[in-house]
Amino acid sequence: MANVFDIVVCAGIVPDPLQTLEPVTGPAGPGVKNEMVLPAVLDPWAASALYEAANLVAKNPGSKLWLVSLGPKAKLQQVMMTVAQKVAFQLVPVDGPIGGFPDAHSTATVLAETISALPGLDKSKLLLFGGWESATRGAGVTLQLVGELLGITDQFQGVDEISPRDDGSFEVLERVEGGKQQVSVCAGAPAVLGWATGNLAEPRNNPQVGMANMRTIMPALARAKKVTLDANGLHYVSTSLPKQQRETRVVKDLTPDQIAAELVEWIGAE
Amino acid sequence: METILVLTHADETGSALTKASLETVTAGLELAARLSAPLTIGIITVDATAAASALSSTGARLLAVSGEAFAQARYASDAAAAEALCRAAKATIVLAPGTSRFTRVAAGVTHRLGGFLDTHITALGGTEAIEATRWFYRQRIEAVLSRDARPWFLLLDAGTHAAFAGEHGAAPVEQAAIQLPRLRTTVSGVRAPEQGQQTIRPDAKLLFVAGAGWTKKQHDGQAHPAEAGKLILGFLHATGASLGSSKSLVDQGGEGEPVLPFLTHMNQVGQTGATPRHAKGLSTCCHGEEPHVVGWRFVGERRAINLDPNCGWARGKADVVYVADAFEVMGKVNAQLKAAKA
């Protein structure tokens, strides 16, 4: 029997990892200097979740895929110009603040309300996907909270693989300590899967997929609901860049033998 | 007045607490002493009596949820157990180790208790209020934060406190009442490399990072992945170091380029990989670009071997950069290590 899944991927947008980040404090609290103009990408681990979701949909006819993303509408539009060319999905944008400093609990509440209101979503078939942590807040909290708010009590984090079975159940590989993976079998949807890297390479850009996606993405962006996020009693005492800048000794004039001797002594030193 | 609960869990034996749990016990004892607050320690395990023996000298109230259902980590049973302990302890501050077992359930439990959660805490400070330190943007911005709302759950990163090591002895343990939900997930085991083949060693003093240069064409115009693999594994075998990798090297498998078969994405260090804690780190054939180096935030002494004297490591990211061919140097290192052991 074929499986049919309704997959919702929660994915934020983050500054391109090559950008220099500088914290600033404004009236609304801490943020990143010029974050609105920094080049942005889809959150990397959430992007893994999106590619895995699209692969699962392709292998299970009748399945559906939504991408729910909270961020400033203009920034979402920029990022979607690229993401839309990768895989087919229905974008559900929510127009809200950017960055890692807003409270995860407020973010989760907005996402859960948005997902609950998705027309045509069958919660008994729901697989809620996302990254196991974001590249902004990096807390690993939001997706779990969304799952709890939706009443889902089978959750997996650090997922590298999902293997559906004919009876509707699926096997999941989750990362645990020491380079190991826990193997679990879940009876079936609904479930939450916070993805690590997965096993799929980033899909190549496909202009045809991009054009098809953009036909629904632009109207969805135009309709995006604007939200504000409650701080929930969260105060930032300070934000700062790491202070440590090392005085690097660049060694150019030693032979491999001499370098090896220096390294062996260093490795052995307490 | 605050009341503090430290959540702990047993290791795979089911009768001893994990090191990360004992580190959190230390953090809980320190915080309780500073705030003059009562401390409860909650234990999730198969055998509560055995696990609690390590906590007999803490003087804390000990609560447990125990039984075979808690032998393995699973969301539904662990969340129910942690919720039961939190309700029994009525704590305003809940500390827990940031293990895979607790990071899976902490947010859900927090929601059930009507509380708020912050994770990856690296330090607890403050004078009048509790202030927690954590990193944002993958270890690129450090922030100190506080919350008015209670209960406040804080997940502590491993390695930020010394593990509690008191005298073992009999300790009274109260069982917390728990109603397990219907369990739809079965844990069937753990997948790990064969004995002796594991290259990820969190407790190792040294991190050895292999970059994409190991599989690129060398002076003779040929790539030598087999020789690279032999040199790297030889070094790991001789030193007991943990193996990390850059993203570009582990990604090569999906791009049809030569690969080192013992590397997986779990070895990846950096923006989309791990942020391990080791006393020393040696980078080889890796440019030291920012997305990779953010994963080195908690590595103490850093050295790098690279042919490019202007690589990222030379710009204040490493203590020493050796401008040299890593194939030659690591061959000599392995030979010297072998000679030293002979």
What are the pLDDT digits (tens) for A75-130? 999 999 999 999 999 999 999 999 999 999 999 999 999 999 999 999 999 999 99
| Spacing of C-alpha B14 from chain mean position | 20
User: Where exactly does CATH 3.40.50.620 map onto chain B?
Assistant: 4-175
Q: State residue B290's pLDDT score.
A: 87
Q: Name the token pair of B84.
A: 């039961």
Asked if A144's CB is within 8 angstroms of B108's CB, the reply is: yes
Portion of chain B with pLDDT greater than 70, in percent: 98
The radius of gyration of chain A's CA atoms, rounded to the nearest angstrom, is 21
Which residue would you say has higher pLDDT here, A1 or B271? B271
Cα–Cα distance between B235 and B239 in angstroms, integer? 6
User: What residues in A contact B140, CB-CB < 8 Å?
Assistant: 21, 241-242
Q: State residue B264's pLDDT score.
A: 87
Q: A182 to each of A83, A205, A256, B40, B99, how far by Cα in Å?
A: 31, 33, 42, 30, 13
Task: Using pLDDT thresholds of 50, 70 and 90, give the confidence band for residue B253.
Answer: low
User: Where exactly does CATH 3.40.50.1220 map onto chain B?
Assistant: 206-341
Calculate the average pLDDT of chain A. Answer: 95
Mean pLDDT on B168-191? 95
Mutate to test the interface with A, among B83, B184, B297 (most CBs of A within 10 A): B184
Q: Is A145 on the interface with B (CB under 8 A)?
A: yes
Domains, chain A, ordered by start: 6-226 (3.40.50.620)
What is the number of other CB atoms lying within 10 angstroms of the CB of residue A70? 26
Instruction: Return phi, psi of residue A122, to 5°.
Output: -100, 105
Asked if A250's CB is within 8 angstroms of B137's CB, the reply is: no
Task: Could you list the beta-strand ranges (E) of B195-331.
Answer: 206-210, 242-245, 278-284, 299-306, 320-323
**pTM (whole model) above 0.95:** no
Q: Is A121 on the interface with B (CB under 8 A)?
A: no
pLDDT digits (tens, 9 = 90+) for A184-210: 999 999 999 999 988 888 999 999 999
Q: State residue A206's pLDDT score.
A: 96
Q: B46 to each of A108, B164, B221, B276, how far by Cα in Å?
A: 33, 21, 58, 29
Range from A90-94, B52-56, B278-282, B291-295 carrying the lowest mean pLDDT: B291-295
Q: State residue B271's pLDDT score.
A: 86
Mean pLDDT on B35-64? 96
Q: State residue A269's pLDDT score.
A: 59
Mean pLDDT on B19-33? 97
Is residue B169 classed as helix, strand or coil in its secondary structure? Answer: coil
Cross-chain CB nearest to B100 (options A15, A177, A266): A177
Which residue would you say has higher pLDDT here, A11 or B192? A11
Long-range contacts of A57-60 (CB under 8 A, 24+ apart): A57/A5, A57/A7, A60/A2, A60/A3, A60/A4, A60/A5, A60/A164
Cα–Cα distance between A134 and A140 in angstroms, integer? 7
Query: Considering the domain B206-341 in this protein, what is its CATH number?
Result: 3.40.50.1220
Task: Using pLDDT thresholds of 50, 70 and 90, give the confidence band for residue A270.
Answer: very low
Is ipTM beyond 0.90? yes
Calculate the average pLDDT of chain B. Answer: 94
Q: Quick one: B4-175 is in which CATH superfamily?
A: HUPs (3.40.50.620)
User: What residues in A contact B314, CB-CB < 8 Å?
Assistant: 248, 250
Asked if A232's CB is within 8 angstroms of B149's CB, the reply is: yes
Cα–Cα distance between A192 and A195 in angstroms, integer? 10
Sign for the pseudo-dihedral over CA of A132, A136, A142, A143: negative
Put residue B285 in one of left, alpha, beta given phi > 0 → left and psi -120 to 50 → alpha: left
Q: State residue B255's pLDDT score.
A: 61
CA angle A50, A53, A54 (to 5 degrees): 90
Q: Is B175 on the interface with A (CB under 8 A)?
A: no
The answer, yes or no, to whether residue B83 has pLDDT greater than 70, is yes
Task: Using pLDDT thresholds of 50, 70 and 90, give the confidence band for residue B257.
Answer: low
Please give the full DSSP string across A67-92, using - where no structure is assigned: EEEEE-HHHHHHHHHHHTTTS--EEE
Is residue A263 within 8 A of residue B338, CB to CB? The reply is no
Mean pLDDT on B311-323? 95
Mean pLDDT on A167-174? 97
Cα–Cα distance between A65 and A74 in angstroms, integer? 23
Q: Is the peptide bond before A102 cis (omega within 30 degrees of 0)?
A: no
Q: State residue A245's pLDDT score.
A: 78
Asked if A137's CB is within 8 angstroms of B136's CB, the reply is: yes
Q: State residue A18's pLDDT score.
A: 83
Q: Is B146 on the interface with A (CB under 8 A)?
A: yes
Q: Residue ranges of the alpha helices (H) in B90-138?
A: 100-112
Q: State residue A199's pLDDT score.
A: 86
Portion of chain A with pLDDT greater than 70, in percent: 99
The answer, yes or no, to whether residue A1 has pLDDT greater than 60, is no
Q: Name the token pair of B108.
A: 């859900």
User: What residues in A contact B105, CB-CB < 8 Å?
Assistant: 144, 155
Is residue B296 within 8 A of residue B317, CB to CB? The reply is yes
User: What residues in B contact A158, CB-CB < 8 Å?
Assistant: 100
Q: Is A136 on the interface with B (CB under 8 A)?
A: yes
